[in-house]
């Protein structure tokens, strides 16, 4: 499976109702596995310490997350329930999508009798964008939904305006056919939905996690008291060699800036976590844009408040 970092695949899928027919349910010793059309759930049968909800990158579904991020075994050992979402291909969330997703997650938690006092949400690439936006939405609706204790992203494309401008550079540079195809699609998609950010930045600010050019973080304002982790692997040499990309065209650049901006704004629970040479795909391919940059034991300790 090809996972693309900042220039993404073309097909969009909508939300799938959590009321869909259950495909399978299997109980192992002390643990239950539930497979449905829109998610997979792995939960301890007793004494659940936390709930971890994961969103994959642009083309990823639950099976892909399991392959690239082998979190289930250590989660089982620590009695953490894991929900793997099949929702993908979202660079931003419309208001109705936020409402639908929040309700869907609420139903999953309630229908499976999961605890509501220690929920964590995280995602890789565009899944991290979804994680931040839906966490911010839920945090603002505490009367109706169970707010997460923490949220994390893994090398996510958080600045939509920067994506647009980066795509313009890629097309002008004409480095490779895939880069041209991806950048052309991204310019068309963002341009059709929001226009050119040089002419109208407001539409980008309304949807993006972060807009560096205007220092806008309004879509995170409800997470000031939420634990936040920002994972990235700023391997500038790899990006220059393989994509001819400058540092300011990478997710790492804007993730670091977001961390600095949030901390200056009084977000005291933000951790910026840069890694070195940890990014590898499950097939052994070296790639800094990978789930593997996350230290799984350290993540579990953070969830269980051991950090």
Judge whether 207 lies within some domain. Answer: no
- DSSP secondary structure letters along 14-50: ----TTSPEEEEEEETTEEEEEESSEEEEEESS---E
Taking Cα atoms as reference points, which of 201, 219, 61, 65 lies closest to residue 139? 219
pLDDT at residue 24, rounded to an integer: 61
Judge whether 3 lies within some domain. Answer: no
Judge whether 101 lies within some domain. Answer: yes
pLDDT at residue 15, rounded to an integer: 32
pLDDT at residue 103, rounded to an integer: 96
In sequence order, the β-bridge partners of residue 51 are 81, 119
Judge whether 285 lies within some domain. Answer: yes
Q: What percent of the chain has pLDDT over 70?
A: 90
Judge whether 219 lies within some domain. Answer: no
CA distance 109 to 83: 9
- Tokens 């082998």 sit at which residue? 70
Judge whether 172 lies within some domain. Answer: no
Question: Helices (DSSP H) in the chain: which residue ranges?
Answer: 62-68, 72-77, 95-111, 126-139, 160-173, 177-194, 202-207, 236-243, 251-264, 296-303
Q: Which domain holds residue 118?
A: 22-157+227-303
Give the count of beta carbons closer than 10 Å to the beta carbon of residue 76.
17
Judge whether 126 lies within some domain. Answer: yes
- Number of structural domains (the chain) is 1
Taking Cα atoms as reference points, which of 60, 121, 131 lies closest to residue 92? 131
CA distance 150 to 122: 8
pLDDT in tens for each of the 307 residues of the chain?
444 444 332 222 233 333 344 556 666 678 899 999 999 999 999 999 999 999 999 889 999 999 999 999 999 999 999 999 999 999 999 999 999 999 999 999 999 999 999 999 999 999 999 999 999 999 999 778 899 999 999 999 999 999 999 999 999 998 877 778 888 989 999 999 999 999 999 999 999 999 999 999 999 999 999 999 999 999 999 999 988 999 999 999 999 999 999 999 999 999 999 999 999 999 999 999 999 999 999 999 999 998 6
Is pTM beyond 0.85? Reply is: yes
Judge whether 2 lies within some domain. Answer: no
CA angle 194, 138, 76 (to 5 degrees): 115
Tens-digit pLDDT profile for residues 231-290: 999 999 999 998 899 999 999 999 999 999 999 999 999 999 999 999 999 999 999 999
Tens-digit pLDDT profile for residues 92-101: 999 999 999 9
Q: What is the CATH number of the domain that holds 83?
A: 3.40.50.1820
Kindly state the helix (H) or strand (E) to which residue 195 belongs, with its residue range. none
pLDDT at residue 182, rounded to an integer: 80
Kindly state the helix (H) or strand (E) to which residue 208 belongs, with its residue range. none
């Amino acid at each position: 499976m090809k996972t693309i970092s900042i220039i993404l695949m073309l097909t969009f899928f909508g939300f799938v109702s959590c009321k869909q027919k259950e495909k399978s349910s299997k109980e192992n010793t002390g643990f239950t596995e539930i497979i449905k059309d829109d998610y997979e759930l792995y939960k301890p049968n007793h004494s659940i310490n936390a709930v971890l909800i994961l969103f994959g990158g642009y083309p990823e579904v639950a099976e892909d997350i399991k392959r690239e991020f082998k979190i289930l075994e250590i989660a089982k050992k620590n009695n953490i329930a894991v929900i793997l979402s099949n929702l993908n291909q979202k660079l931003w969330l419309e208001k109705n999508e936020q409402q639908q997703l929040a309700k869907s997650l609420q139903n999953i938690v309630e229908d499976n009798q999961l605890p509501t006092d220690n929920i964590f949400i995280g995602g890789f690439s565009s899944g991290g964008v979804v994680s931040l936006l839906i966490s911010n939405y839920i945090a603002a609706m505490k009367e109706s939904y169970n707010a997460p204790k923490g949220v994390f992203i893994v090398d996510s494309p958080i600045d939509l305006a920067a994506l647009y401008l980066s795509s313009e550079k890629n097309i002008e540079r004409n480095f490779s056919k895939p880069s041209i195809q991806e950048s052309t699609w991204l310019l068309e998609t963002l341009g059709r939905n929001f226009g050119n950010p040089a002419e109208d930045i407001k539409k980008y600010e309304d949807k993006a996690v972060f807009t560096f050019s205007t220092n806008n973080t309004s879509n995170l304002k409800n997470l000031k008291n939420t634990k936040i982790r920002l994972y990235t692997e700023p391997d500038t040499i790899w990006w220059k060699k393989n994509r001819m990309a400058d540092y300011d065209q990478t997710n790492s650049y804007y993730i670091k800036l977001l961390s600095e901006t949030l901390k200056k704004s009084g977000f005291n629970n933000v951790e910026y976590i840069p890694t070195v040479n940890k990014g590898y795909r499950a097939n052994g391919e070296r790639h800094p844009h990978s789930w593997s940059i996350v230290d799984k034991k350290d993540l579990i300790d953070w969830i269980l408040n051991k950090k």
